[in-house]
Amino acid sequence: MAGFGRRPPLAIGFALLWFGTLASATGVIYVQHRSRAVFVELERANARRDNLEVEWGQLQLEQSAWSTHAFVERVASTKLHMGMPPPQSIQVMVEAPPPAQATTAAPAGSPAGAP
C-alpha cells in the first residue's frame, strides 16, 4: 500500500502540468489572434491616413489655385460683374505722417533737472 499512496501526488502533478500547458497554449493562440486583429486595424488606419494626406494635398493645390490673382479677377468680373473704374474716378490716398512732438530734453552739458 505504500506504493499506492505515492502515485496520486505524481498523477496530480502530471495533471496540473498538463492543464498548465493547455492553458498556456490557449493563451498563446488568443494573443496571436488578438495581435493579428490589431495589426489589421493598424493597416486600415495607415491606409486612411494615406488617403487623408492625398486629400490634404489636393485641397492645398485647390486653395493655391483659388487664391491666384487671375482667378480672383476672373471671378470678380464674371460672377460679381466688377471691373476697373475709369481712371478719372480713382483717388490715391496717402497717409499723413504723425505730427512731430516737441521734445523737452535738456541742452547738452546741463543736468537733467537744472533750470
Using DSSP's 3-state secondary structure scheme, residue 44 falls into: helix
- What's this model's pTM, rounded to 2 decimal places? 0.49
Question: What is the distance between the alpha carbons of residues 75 and 34, in angstroms, rounded to a whole number?
Answer: 56
pLDDT computed for residue 111 by the predictor:
57
pLDDT computed for residue 31 by the predictor:
98
pLDDT computed for residue 27 by the predictor:
97
pLDDT computed for residue 97 by the predictor:
87
Question: What is the distance between the alpha carbons of residues 78 and 70, in angstroms, rounded to a whole number?
Answer: 12
pLDDT (tens, 9 = 90+) of the chain, 115 residues, equals: 455 555 678 889 999 999 999 999 999 999 999 999 999 999 999 999 999 999 999 999 999 988 888 888 888 899 998 988 899 999 989 998 888 876 665 556 555 555 5
77 within 8 A of 83, measured Cβ to Cβ: yes
pLDDT computed for residue 6 by the predictor:
55
How many CA within 13 A on the CB side of residue 12? 5
Q: Residue 112 has which C-alpha cell?
A: 537733467
Residue ranges per structural domain of the chain: 2-84
